[in-house]
Amino acid sequence: MDKSTDTNASIWQSGEIVQNWVAEAQANERKRATQRQFMAVLLPFGAEDAFTFLDLGAGTGAASRVILDMYPRSTAILADFSAEMMRAGEQELEPFAGRYRYVEFDMTTGQWPPAIPAELDAIVTSMSVHHLTDERKQGLFAEIFGRLVPGGWYLNYDPVSAPDPAVEAAWERVNDHDDPETAAKRLHRTSEQQARWENHVRYIIPLDRQLEYLRLAGFGGIDVYWKRLENVIYGGYRPA
């Protein structure tokens, strides 16, 4: 795909594509359940602490649902730019009515809406930052840092690219072993699935570059808290 033609907006504003994505996501989320729980536990709060967190690129709220369930006094702000995705999320988040709200925000712009507070206790992203260009990733991390209270944490669960072809081949081999249908799916994608795949991988970059963006933004406590092949959970906090 030509990187000069970014199809991200048209893909995620399509009702049909979002419906198909939601159906596939139910299966994917079963595989991600352990990582969702782990990211929630990484947040530095007790079970009875009251805090507000922001879920950027929230989609249907998969990350928020786990955090809201684990911390009964937490409040979530979910930011997404797809009206179709937010409509689907309202159904998924029904058990948490009154403890969350959606805000429309296009992360590619850096123009934060007034509805997002200037000070937040924590910010999370999951399966969304990889859609951004390098320049925008770096800008977003700086903006996230600026919105956190001192001691506030940022965590990201996302795929990264392999540092060399041999590593990439190893990742693909293991993924195909764990899910025998993966190779067949890869070879027999529909035009819609191929467009989504190309959109998915176009801006994925190596892990070390993303950690450097966190350092440049001013974060402390930077670490890769979990990693399996291409999927990682990394983050840091805003020093006091």
Picking from 106, 6, 115, the residue whose alpha carbon sits closest to that of residue 56 is: 106
- Contact predicate 68/122, CB 8 Å: no
- Beta bridge pairs of residue 80: 104
pLDDT at 186: 81
Q: Which residue has the higher pLDDT, 17 or 196?
A: 196
Q: Which of 146, 131, 136, 139 is nearest to 54 (CA)?
A: 146
Name the more confident of 191 and 69: 69
Sorted by where each begins, the domain ranges of the chain are 8-237
Q: Could you tell me which of 198, 238, 192, 237 has the C-alpha nearest to residue 20?
A: 192
CATH 3.90.480.10 describes domain 8-237 = no
What does the CA dihedral 75, 102, 210, 71 come to, rounded to 10 degrees?
20
pLDDT digits (tens, 9 = 90+) for 82-95: 998 999 999 999 99
| Integer Cα distance of 211 and 223 in angstroms | 8
pTM of the shown model: 0.87
